[in-house]
Amino acid sequence: MQAKTWHLGDSHQSLVLASFADTLPEVVYWGPPLPDTEDLKQLAAASATDVTGGMVDRNAPISLCPEASQTFPGQIGLTGRDPEGRTLAPQFRFESEASTSHGLTLTYADSQHDLNLIFELSLTPGTSLFRMQTRLETAREITVDWLAAPVLPIPAHTGEMIEFSGRWCAEFQTRRLPFAPGARMRDNRTGRSDHAHFPALIACSSATSNTGGEAYAFHYGWSGGHRMVAEELADGRRQVQFGHASASMKKGRSFSTAPLFATYSASGFNGAAIRFQRHLRENIVVGAREPRPVHYNCWEAVYFDHDLEELKAIATRAAGLGAERFVLDDGWFGLRDDDTSSLGDWVIDKRKYPDGLTPLIAHVKALGLEFGIWFEPEMINEDSELFRARPDWVLGSPDQVRGRQQLVLDLAREDVRAYLYDCIAPVLAQNDIGYIKWDHNRVLPVVDAAQTEGVYALIDRLRADFPHVEIESCASGGGRIDFGILERTQRVWLSDSNDALERQRIQHEAALFLPASVTGSHVGPRVSHTSGRTLNMSLRAWTAAQRYLGFEMDPRELSDEEIATLKEVTGWWKANRNWMMRADILRLDVSDPAMIAEQQLAEDGERFVVFAALLRTSDPILQQPVRLTGLDAGASYRINLVNREDAPGLSRGAPLLKENTLVASGQYLMSHGLILPWRFPESIWVIEGQRQ
């Protein structure tokens, strides 16, 4: 059968599409790079599968949008109704193709239903990440219930998937599950990417580890809730679909999915992770300050209890520890003494700040720090001037369940967005503010893509008018983290948990997609406010120093010893941030389940740092060597244990690194690994490496 073929590829991967007799294109190859000499027509021809008893006479393809009209035996890529309410079952045919800078646009049409289906596909050079989007256009108003971003097949030898779930204070939980006949579906109808539904999937084989094996990784770049289908068809083939949460699109003439980002890795989870990390840093995030300033947030120091003199004293202490930005959190506006009132009334509280924010900002600026401020623009309390004036601005029905005593404003409304702009812009214009922490503390009462588009429009307008103001995406911690929000923000508040042990896991899993430069990690109070656990300063500080460092405790509670450790670690972070914030985070495969270890490797491969945290007591008495990764096997590296003074008295032996540096080949470091001194649980070793 005559086929059109297309190849998108680079030195890391190839993806070959074929369209037979002008029907929708399907992926006939996705994997390691193919040679230039490969005959794509042959690959197309070779993709034909057999049929036998009990099957229809031709297997419907897993096309970029599997069609009911082709008798597709699984979840289809488009469901909707025509203006008369009849179920759509289009038969798309090739219309046109156009090259774009790093990819192509393919247009297919169904003349009977007057529909155009457009696929935009590109492979970003350098970061080797696919960006794929589907658009549906029609002359008549139709209803779309489900539209998948370009649908991709998963080969049979990748029989497992890693899925993401979580909760408040425990984001980025991963589950490794086998594929099995039937569909594994996520339909996140919370209206935000949410703690429980980070929009991603990694397909892999049982042998895939952080450092080796094959992986296919996907991330849907949308903040409004997504639907994912990972399906094994009855005939054994597998497909992955991502799109907006079901029923979040409504009636219209034009529908678009968010971009689906995807990549194939032949070098384990790390191979995929560094593509996402680099792509986010280089192609998604815009306007992030460099060097990244050390952050201080006053939430866990004062909560709603704002007192100018106390805040000034706290800022002075934070500056002394090395902070370069001070963020005034919730409680500065309306009459907000707790979380029951004032959301929507974005006016400085004269009881707490009789002379406005200027005295505090002037103090912070005199210390040499940037000033940042908290907003939760999308929300409203019933106890607010705004609600009393405009109860009709609320999204959803009046008798809906409240979340944190608050309701959501309908951001699809132009007048609501204008009101919020008119509240926020003067605060930014009249005060020397360089940073917003943008919070979002409840799920939506209805799932609606227009709400997310409204939020995007509001942020875009503010960013255009105040380009120097960085924004942090927070939603009770990590409830809104995705490449959609990160196109317009520069940092994420990964979790409300400042418990370093919990953070170790959360940030380790998040590194499958997020680079250090956007991942906020704060040194919390000695006794964690969210877990009640007491942790030592070395673990707390080094854990935060693995990412974008900040502090979030009352600095007046710190002992002299804690201050000394924190200052030392902060000094180390400042000395290293320029290369570390651009480094690849490589997760290490460790033999001890009590340990989480990772290696941050500089862009030029000349230096690295390893963080090896022991979360609990190990089973064996001797600790297992930590094997490194990503090094040049033939090169020599000098290895130094940065915090050797943390070795406890019970470490009685003489491992080399306890007293000396080690010079060894990349081969030795990757194959044998480092023998580290014995230590207590709930502690961390920090090891630097420099190519010789």
Residues numbered 505 to 534 that lie near ligand DGJ (CB under 6 A) are none
- Is the Cβ–Cβ distance between 623 and 676 less than 8 Å? yes
Count of CB atoms situated within 10 Å of the CB of 102: 15
Contacts of 464 (CB under 8 A, 6+ apart): none
Stretch that binds ligand DGJ, among 55-63, 455-463, 469-477, 610-618 (CB under 6 A): 469-477
Toward ligand DGJ, which CB reaches closer, 88 or 492? 492
Toward ligand DGJ, which CB reaches closer, 111 or 340? 340
Q: Identify the three-state secondary structure at position 597.
A: strand
Toward ligand DGJ, which CB reaches closer, 324 or 330? 330
| Beta carbon of residue 335, minimum distance to ligand DGJ (angstroms, whole number) | 15
| Beta carbon of residue 84, minimum distance to ligand DGJ (angstroms, whole number) | 47
Q: Is the peptide bond before 291 cis (omega within 30 degrees of 0)?
A: yes
Residues numbered 342 to 401 that lie near ligand DGJ (CB under 6 A) are 374
Residue 488 structure tokens: 């317009």
- Is the Cβ–Cβ distance between 500 and 302 less than 8 Å? no
Secondary structure, 3-state, 537-587:
HHHHHHHHHCCEEEECCCHHHCCHHHHHHHHHHHHHHHHHHHHHCCCEEEE
Toward ligand DGJ, which CB reaches closer, 495 or 618? 495
| Beta carbon of residue 401, minimum distance to ligand DGJ (angstroms, whole number) | 19
Stretch that binds ligand DGJ, among 209-217, 257-265, 473-481, 585-593 (CB under 6 A): 473-481
Out of 120, 330, 470, 499, name the contact with ligand DGJ by CB under 6 A: 330
Out of 439, 487, 562, 598, name the contact with ligand DGJ by CB under 6 A: 439
CA distance 500 to 363: 31
Toward ligand DGJ, which CB reaches closer, 162 or 518? 518
Toward ligand DGJ, which CB reaches closer, 303 or 421? 303
- Please name the helix (run of DSSP H) or strand (run of DSSP E) that holds residue 683, with its range, or none: strand 683-691
Out of 17, 474, 537, 684, name the contact with ligand DGJ by CB under 6 A: 474
Stretch that binds ligand DGJ, among 100-108, 229-237, 474-482, 574-582 (CB under 6 A): 474-482
> Minimal CA–CA distance to 618: which of 673, 579, 676?
676
- Is the Cβ–Cβ distance between 676 and 641 less than 8 Å? yes
| Backbone angles phi and psi of 224, in degrees to 5 | -100, 15
Residues numbered 118 to 177 that lie near ligand DGJ (CB under 6 A) are none
Stretch that binds ligand DGJ, among 311-319, 358-366, 472-480, 530-538 (CB under 6 A): 472-480
Out of 163, 487, 496, 499, name the contact with ligand DGJ by CB under 6 A: 496
Toward ligand DGJ, which CB reaches closer, 268 or 372? 372
| Beta carbon of residue 496, minimum distance to ligand DGJ (angstroms, whole number) | 5
Between 278 and 307, how does the x/- string for binding to ligand DGJ read (CB under 6 A)? ---------------------x--------
| Beta carbon of residue 293, minimum distance to ligand DGJ (angstroms, whole number) | 18
Residues numbered 209 to 248 that lie near ligand DGJ (CB under 6 A) are none
CA distance 499 to 530: 7
Out of 476, 490, 528, 538, name the contact with ligand DGJ by CB under 6 A: 476
- Is the Cβ–Cβ distance between 482 and 491 less than 8 Å? no
- Is the Cβ–Cβ distance between 64 and 8 less than 8 Å? no
| Beta carbon of residue 404, minimum distance to ligand DGJ (angstroms, whole number) | 8
| Beta carbon of residue 552, minimum distance to ligand DGJ (angstroms, whole number) | 8
CA distance 664 to 625: 14
- Is the Cβ–Cβ distance between 257 and 147 less than 8 Å? yes
The dihedral of CA 392, 395, 397, 398: what is its sign? negative
> Minimal CA–CA distance to 207: which of 273, 277, 267?
267
- Is the Cβ–Cβ distance between 446 and 139 less than 8 Å? no
Which residue is closest to ligand DGJ by CB? 330
Q: Work out whether 482 is an interface residue with ligand DGJ (CB under 6 A).
A: no
| Beta carbon of residue 55, minimum distance to ligand DGJ (angstroms, whole number) | 53
Query: What's the Cα-to-Cα distance from 656 to each of 434, 636, 641, 673, rounded to whole Å?
Result: 47, 17, 10, 13
Q: How many residues sit in the footprint of ligand DGJ (CB under 6 A)?
A: 11
Q: 295-297 and 548-551: which strand pairing? A: parallel
Catalytic positions, written as ranges: 439, 496
Out of 344, 477, 630, 677, name the contact with ligand DGJ by CB under 6 A: 477
Stretch that binds ligand DGJ, among 9-17, 470-478, 540-548, 616-624 (CB under 6 A): 470-478
| Beta carbon of residue 323, minimum distance to ligand DGJ (angstroms, whole number) | 16
CA angle 605, 611, 612 (to 5 degrees): 130
| Beta carbon of residue 299, minimum distance to ligand DGJ (angstroms, whole number) | 5
Toward ligand DGJ, which CB reaches closer, 244 or 325? 325
Q: Identify the three-state secondary structure at position 234.
A: coil
Q: How many Å separate Cα 516 from the centre of its chain?
A: 11
Stretch that binds ligand DGJ, among 259-267, 471-479, 622-630, 642-650 (CB under 6 A): 471-479
Q: 152-154 and 238-244: which strand pairing? A: antiparallel
Contacts of 112 (CB under 8 A, 6+ apart): 90, 91
The DSSP secondary structure of 176-191, one letter per residue, reads EEE--BEEEEEE--SS
Question: Which residue is it, tokens 């409504």?
Answer: 250
Toward ligand DGJ, which CB reaches closer, 67 or 470? 470
Terminal-residue alpha carbon distance, the chain: 58
Q: 215-220 and 519-523: which strand pairing? A: unpaired
CA distance 407 to 221: 25
Between 648 and 687, how does the x/- string for binding to ligand DGJ read (CB under 6 A)? ----------------------------------------
Question: Which residue is it, tokens 């190519």?
Answer: 691
| Beta carbon of residue 49, minimum distance to ligand DGJ (angstroms, whole number) | 50
> Minimal CA–CA distance to 574: which of 594, 545, 614, 599?
545
Q: Work out whether 441 is an interface residue with ligand DGJ (CB under 6 A).
A: yes
Toward ligand DGJ, which CB reaches closer, 179 or 299? 299
| Beta carbon of residue 374, minimum distance to ligand DGJ (angstroms, whole number) | 6
Between 242 and 281, how does the x/- string for binding to ligand DGJ read (CB under 6 A)? ----------------------------------------
Toward ligand DGJ, which CB reaches closer, 243 or 477? 477
Query: What's the Cα-to-Cα distance from 309 to each of 91, 354, 434, rounded to whole Å?
Result: 69, 13, 22
Toward ligand DGJ, which CB reaches closer, 117 or 475? 475
Q: Work out whether 329 is an interface residue with ligand DGJ (CB under 6 A).
A: yes
Question: Which residue is it, tokens 């699984």?
Answer: 74
Q: Work out whether 410 is an interface residue with ligand DGJ (CB under 6 A).
A: no
CA distance 49 to 51: 7
| Beta carbon of residue 98, minimum distance to ligand DGJ (angstroms, whole number) | 44
Toward ligand DGJ, which CB reaches closer, 404 or 672? 404
Residue 656 structure tokens: 């080399």
Q: Given the rule CB under 6 A, which residues bind ligand DGJ?
A: 299, 329-330, 374, 439, 441, 474, 476-477, 493, 496
